[in-house]
Chain A
Amino acid sequence: MHAETTTALLPAGPARTRPGPMGWLLLGPLLFWVVAFVVAPAAIMLVYSFARRGTLGGVVFEFTLDNYLAVADPTYLQIVLRSLWYAGITTALCLAAGYPVAYVIGRSDERRRSLLLMLVMVPFWTSFLIRTYAWVTILKSQGLVNSLLLGAGIVSEPLALLYTPGAVVLGLTYTFLPFMILPIYSSVEKLDGALIEAALDLGAGPLRAFARVIVPLTSPGIAAGVLLVFVPALGLYAVNDILGGGKVDMIGNVIENQFKGNARNWPFGAALGTVLLVGFGLAYWLVSRRQRPAG
């Protein structure tokens, strides 16, 4: 049961059967997609990261390790750590808020379930940027929240909500919450109610049943949700610019600046990207190793 949902996102050990000709044919589009849009760009990035900076942007193909030496600077380490911290808090908040929602949706009856699922998806109907700018309207000093608080007499001065680290984490959590809810929901939906009843019958309290039965059984969904939230949250810089005022850089901002900013330093941006990619690869490998069922 574990492996069934895991395979969607995490490799579950060696393939049991090799695909036949028909299988390869069906795999074709996926393979093409992976090669054209994942492998090839990553390879280009890797090559660029060892090249030198071109005058107008672009690269000059002369082998150098300077870009990686520049990445090792403490400033960038600090920025990476901060990005990890932001992404970590975002993931934790998404999990805390998303798990109960996913559980309720997964355990509700068919008709209500599709309605609730649709409500989770509704935000995707609007552009992500527009939704983020909507938060500006909510959080600004003469915005919705401050007007309410001032009107109710709870505060006498508008609170500084916008352009703070809190606003960035809020924006990230808001953006990625559905990516946590959906995979957990799919695990909860498959959850066998009889197992929970068995746990309760055998004397486990609700807390214990939750911790020992429900969480382990939904762990593939949790793992998928954590990956789906954590990885993009680390790289997304637009929320930081719009809600954080660009005050502190996240690693995505630094990479963006190498291409769209004064520096025009593509190789350095590529080196930063490669380091992040390798980091993600390692983290993914660790998670999937721990997820792999013992048998």
Chain B
Amino acid sequence: MRPLARLVLAALALAAAAGRAPAAEELNLFAWSEYVPQEVLDGFTKETGIRVNYETYASNEEMLAKLMSGAASYDLIQPSEYTVEALRKEDRLLKLDHAKLPNLKNIGPEYRGLPHDPGLDYSVPYMQGTVGIVVNTEKVKEPIAGYADVFQPKHKNRIVVLDDPLEIVTWAMATRGLGPDEVTRENLAKVRPVLEQWLPLVKVYDSDSPKTALLNGDVDLGVVWSGEAAILINEDAKRFRYVLPKEGTHRFIDNLAVPKGAKHVEAAHRFVDYVLRPEVSVKISKEFPYTNPNLEARKLLSPQERANPASYPPGDPKLQTFRDIGPVAVQVDKLVTDVKAKSGT
């Protein structure tokens, strides 16, 4: 055959093949980095033929910034509870069709009736976590029960905390008996002296991977996400301990939600329901050991995983969640920036 004829034939064959294949469906997932295992995405694509584009972010605010810019269209986002509340106030979320989510029944009762979305009409809990204290027991011998034990002058330059002003402020508020939903200008003024004592002691601010500094031995104490702590404990249960601060802390619930304007609503529902299957959900737990709100999935965990105190705190404490605090967030940022600048080296 002449080369040209061969080329034309090949092109025709290609066109025919393309014509036969159904238009590949997609799902644009915009979620936290290191939170959705590749295995889960692949499994979903294999079963449904829907290709998942997984784009990641490192904070709720980063997600909002991209969502609001309208530059990209997302079908499924993963906001924390206070961001669900903020998005709902602005009517930015699509109401979910529960008929398409038969596996929603697996979500435990303690994740229902919460202020951000009482009926789970706009959001489905993905993972829950707490914020607590990690202690390297090889280096810190005295008992650590709360924030006050961590932020001691003798621990100067041995502490990692989340790089998150709102988190830091609510810890300081807890030592004054204030809950995470009481962030006001007056209360911020009250905790300023606390922060002025605490922040000069901190060595590292890191929200992305606070476990790294602990694992490397650069710090001995941390106030971090429970999932990070759980990984440390899985790594070396003798060396690391997780403590829920006695002054109080909060839990966060990350959810799947469909933003208004989503182009693949059907695919989004299918993905949510897929993730809600116990055998899928447990894979997420195994890779990212937060608290799984899916009670059926929890049953599939190994006894060791169930016993990890960072994933499943003993006594199952009832903790509050964050609320949308509105414009006072500007003051929170200013306060922490101020105190950091003044305590800088």
Contact = CB atoms under 8 A, between A and B. Distances in A.
Interface string B256-295: 0000000000000000000000000000000000000000
Interface of B: 58-59, 61-62, 64-65, 67-69, 86-87, 89-90, 92, 157, 160, 163-166, 202-206, 212-213, 216-218, 326-327, 329-330, 332-334, 337-338, 340-342, 344-345
B330 A265 contact: yes
A126 interface: no
Contact of B337 (A162, A241, A249, A259): A249
B204 A246 contact: yes
A56 B204 contact: no
Interface in A206-240: none
13 contacts: A75-B334, A136-B216, A140-B216, A142-B217, A143-B216, A163-B203, A163-B204, A241-B163, A247-B202, A247-B205, A260-B65, A262-B165, A265-B333
A266 B329 CA distance: 13
Interface string A248-262: 110000100111111
A82 B212 CA distance: 27
Query: A-B pairs with the 4 shortest C-beta distances?
Result: A245-B204, A248-B344, A263-B333, A246-B205
Contact of B218 (A78, A162, A165, A258): A162
Interface in A243-295: 245-249, 254, 257-266, 268
Nearest to A58: B68
Given A141-B218, A261-B333, A245 B65 contact: no
B34 to A, nearest CB: 15
A55 interface: yes
A79 interface: yes
A79 B61 contact: no
B165 A56 contact: no
Given A58-B68, A260-B59, A260-B61, A163 B218 contact: yes
B163 A248 contact: no
Contact of A262 (B164, B216, B338): B164
A140 to B, nearest CB: 5
A43 to B, nearest CB: 16
B341 A261 contact: no
A254 to B, nearest CB: 6
A55 B65 contact: no
B332 A263 contact: yes
A57 interface: yes
B220 to A, nearest CB: 11
A19 interface: no
A29 to B, nearest CB: 24
Contacts of B206: 241, 245-246
A214 B292 CA distance: 68
A57 B59 CA distance: 13
Contacts of B218: 140-141, 162-163
Given A57-B68, A249-B340, A249-B341, A261 B165 contact: yes
Contacts of B341: 75, 78-79, 82, 248-249
Given A140-B218, A259-B65, 5 more contacts: A82-B341, A164-B345, A246-B204, A257-B333, A263-B330
A57 B203 CA distance: 30
A75 B338 contact: yes
Nearest to B57: A260
Contacts of B166: 262
Given A249-B340, A249-B341, A261 B86 contact: no
Interface string A134-152: 0010001111000000000
Nearest to B208: A241
A35 interface: no
A268 B58 CA distance: 21
B216 A259 contact: no
Contacts of B163: 241, 246
A245 B345 contact: no
B331 to A, nearest CB: 9
Interface in A37-89: 53-58, 75, 78-79, 82
B326 A262 contact: no
A7 B204 CA distance: 44
B206 to A, nearest CB: 7
Contacts of A262: 61, 164-166, 329, 332-333
A31 interface: no
Contacts of B90: 55-56
Contact of A260 (B58, B202, B338): B58
Contacts of A30: none
B68 A54 contact: yes
A70 to B, nearest CB: 8
A104 interface: no
B205 A264 contact: no
Contacts of A58: 65, 68-69
A111 B67 CA distance: 52
Contacts of A160: 157
A64 to B, nearest CB: 13
B205 A245 contact: yes
Contacts of B342: 75
A165 B61 contact: no
A102 B64 CA distance: 46
A263 B65 contact: no
A257 B59 CA distance: 10
Contacts of B344: 82, 247-249
B61 A261 contact: yes
A264 B216 contact: no
B332 A248 contact: no
Contact of B86 (A55, A79, A136, A257): A55
Contacts of A143: 216
